[in-house]
Amino acid sequence: MVFTEEMSAEPKKTVLVVDDDPAILRFMRLSLLAHGYEALMAADGEEALAIIRARNPDIVILDILLPKKEGLSVLRELRGFSQVPVIVVSAYDALGEKALKVGANDFLQKPFAPDELLRRIGVVLNHGPQNEN
């Protein structure tokens, strides 16, 4: 029997990237797509929460400094209705500890190598809490 890609492939994992920098969103989208993920993008905190409620992504990459609703507020609200894994990214290392206390699964300081983020996504998705069906 010959397996086609569709027959043998697991469903794509969905990654929501939340960042107010359009260049970062474009780059991350291309990188995620190239590595077999479905990529969703949000440019502010309110948009991120709306997408999470509507699409239920497998993981969220969340910047801290965002318009409309900053990242820690998004994370606090998110934890009220979801345990979706969240990797917080920020140029400010001091915010990492706060993010982890609020409920982030991991923290990565900007700038970071795309391969490092992809590695951490894989670790969090493979070792995080299992989704209940």
Segment 47-80, tens digit of pLDDT? 999 999 999 999 999 999 999 999 999 999 999 9
Whether the CB-CB separation of 97 and 55 falls below 8 Å is answered with: no
Q: How confident is residue 128, by pLDDT bands cut at 50, 70 and 90? A: low
Whether the CB-CB separation of 19 and 25 falls below 8 Å is answered with: yes
Q: How confident is residue 120, by pLDDT bands cut at 50, 70 and 90? A: very high
Report all structural domains of the chain as residue ranges with CATH numbers, in order of start: 13-124 (3.40.50.2300)
CA distance 89 to 109: 6
132 has a pLDDT exceeding 70: no
Tokens of 75: 């994370």
- Locus of tokens 């990237």: 17
CA distance 19 to 65: 8
Each residue of 10-44: pLDDT tens digit? 678 999 999 999 999 999 999 999 999 999 999 99
For residue 9, the model assigns a pLDDT of 57
Element (H, E) at 99: helix 94-102
Radius of gyration of the chain, Cα coordinates, nearest whole angstrom: 15
For residue 1, the model assigns a pLDDT of 44
Q: Which residues are within 8 A (CB) of 132 and not within 5 positions of it... i.e. 6 or more apart?
A: none
For residue 50, the SS3 value is helix
Instruction: Kindly report the pTM of this predicted structure.
Output: 0.86
